[in-house]
């Protein structure tokens, strides 16, 4: 049995998970990131101990997913801007305190690991997971192993630069995939079109002035045939297809799984994306990656974190 911890900017989710990936229990506590590393790490320890006390068999290890860059030894967090953590050896601290192996990894890598172990990618050894949420996360599997690179920076697909944009990424660069194909990108471009008064008849103008735009509101408007919504969504598809085509050309995966909030758009996204990727294929008649939706939803982070010690011990 393993414990997986999914550390986010708002909540810390922890789960007790069997070796086969089935979840026994999930608990969540607020992160309270403004309190700093020491206080949050103590809460993680308390959550792990609470879960261990409910385990029917010994817990062999713990995995922790964080929204940042982790060293290749799966212990030191080098860069986690959402939490304002830098050079924190979370794995060592937790392992010494708990007396069991603890491994730390990027949360998108662990979402990919979850889908590889028990989700949409179980039939593939060479596969890619893309999470389209506030940003764009990515995890790459090569011959069944998560690609982390020489320094832990592997699979940062969201920061693949694919074009020039009207705003900069949080990383400081211009043109990152996540500034074109995330929920944030949808909102920002829709706001720009409203502010430029490009579609004065669109109902999204009034929504912008009153309650404010969300990615769901804009995409729902696109589904309903709204011109502003469709320009935003077509732009998302265009650049997401460029990113996916680059992934196919570099890794030649068997499968690519799409997850995250934007994926809830369903077939409206999948039909447009697969058609665009097919149009951009390097060799038109050659077999290419199958694009599917991820299956594990909000549990992917916890399950993937729990599967990390299973693969590392």
d(CA 129, CA 112): 5
Task: Return d(Cα 210, Cα 32) in angstroms, integer.
Answer: 30
Length of the chain: 313
Same domain for 207 and 60, yes or no, is no
Residue carrying the six token digits 């920002």: 188
pLDDT of residue 283: 84
pLDDT at 171: 87
DSSP string, 201-245: T-THHHHHHTT---HHHHHHHHHTT-HHHHHHHHHHHHHHHHHHH
Q: Are residues 15 and 100 in the same domain?
A: yes
Same domain, 96 and 129: no
Q: What is the Cα gyration radius of the chain?
A: 20
| Structural domain total, the chain | 2
Mean pLDDT in residue range 75-89: 93
Do 154 and 80 lie in a common domain? no
What one-character DSSP code corresponds to residue 289? Answer: P
Query: For the segment 32-53, what is each residue's pLDDT rounded down to a tens digit?
Result: 999 999 999 999 999 999 999 9
* CATH for 305: 3.30.420.40
Question: Do 64 and 196 reside in the same domain of the chain?
Answer: no
Q: Where are the alpha helices (DSSP H) in the chain?
A: 37-53, 90-98, 107-118, 178-181, 183-195, 204-209, 215-223, 227-251, 267-279, 300-312
The residue segments making up the domain with residue 222 are 123-294
From residue 22, how far is each of 8, 117, 301, 311 by CA, in Å?
22, 11, 13, 16
My answer on whether 91 and 61 are in the same domain is: yes
186-191: list long-range contacts, CB under 8 Å, 24+ apart: 186/215, 186/218, 186/219, 186/232, 186/233, 186/236, 186/262, 187/213, 187/214, 187/215, 187/218, 189/232, 189/235, 190/218, 190/228, 190/229, 190/232
Q: Are residues 250 and 175 in the same domain?
A: yes
The pLDDT-based confidence of 178 (bands split at 50, 70, 90) is very high
Please indicate, yes or no, whether residues 57 and 86 belong to a single structural domain of this protein. Answer: yes
| Residues 157 and 285 grouped into a single domain | yes
CB–CB of 66/77 below 8 Å? Answer: yes
State the DSSP H helix or E strand holding residue 125, giving kind and residue range, or none if neither: none
- Residue where the block lists tokens 């069997």: 18
Note whether 155 and 68 are within 8 A (CB).
no
pLDDT band at 154 (very low <50, low <70, confident <90, very high): confident
User: In the structure, what pLDDT confidence band is assigned to residue 300 with cuts at 50, 70 and 90?
Assistant: very high
Residues 91, 145, single domain; the answer is no
Picking from 12-21, 136-145, 183-192, 276-285, which range would have the lowest pLDDT averaged per residue?
276-285
Round the average pLDDT of the chain to a whole number and report it: 95
Verify that 286 and 308 share a domain, yes or no. Answer: no
176 lies in the same domain as 286: yes
């Amino acid at each position: 049995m393993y414990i997986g911890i999914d550390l986010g900017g708002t909540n810390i989710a922890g789960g007790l998970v069997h070796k086969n990936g089935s979840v026994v229990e999930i608990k969540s506590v607020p992160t309270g990131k403004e309190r700093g590393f020491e206080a949050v790490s103590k809460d993680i320890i308390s959550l792990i101990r609470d879960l261990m006390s409910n385990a029917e068999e010994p817990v062999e290890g713990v995995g922790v997913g964080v929204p940042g860059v982790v060293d290749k030894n799966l212990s030191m967090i080098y860069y986690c801007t959402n939490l304002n953590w830098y050079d924190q050896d979370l794995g060592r601290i937790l392992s010494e305190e708990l007396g069991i192996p603890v491994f730390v990894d990027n949360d998108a890598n662990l979402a990919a690991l979850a889908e590889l172990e028990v989700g949409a990618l179980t039939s593939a050894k060479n596969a890619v997971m893309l999470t389209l949420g506030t940003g764009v996360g990515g995890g790459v599997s090569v011959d069944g192993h998560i690609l982390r690179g020489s320094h832990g920076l592997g699979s940062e697909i969201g920061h693949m630069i694919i074009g020039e944009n009207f705003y900069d990424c949080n990383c400081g660069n211009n043109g990152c995939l996540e500034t074109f194909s995330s929920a944030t990108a949808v909102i920002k471009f829709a706001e720009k079109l409203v502010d430029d008064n490009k579609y004065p008849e669109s109902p999204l103008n009034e929504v912008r002035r009153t309650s404010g735009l969300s990615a769901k509101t804009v995409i729902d408007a696109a589904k309903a045939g709204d011109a502003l919504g469709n320009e935003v969504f077509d732009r998302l598809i265009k650049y997401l297809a460029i990113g996916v085509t680059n992934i196919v050309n570099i890794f030649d995966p068997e499968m690519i799984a799409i997850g995250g909030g934007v994926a809830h758009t369903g077939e409206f996204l999948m039909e447009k994306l697969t058609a665009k990727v097919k149009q951009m294929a390097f060799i038109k008649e050659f077999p290419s990656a199958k694009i599917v939706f991820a299956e594990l939803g909000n549990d992917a982070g916890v399950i993937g974190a729990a599967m990390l010690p299973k693969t590392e011990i």
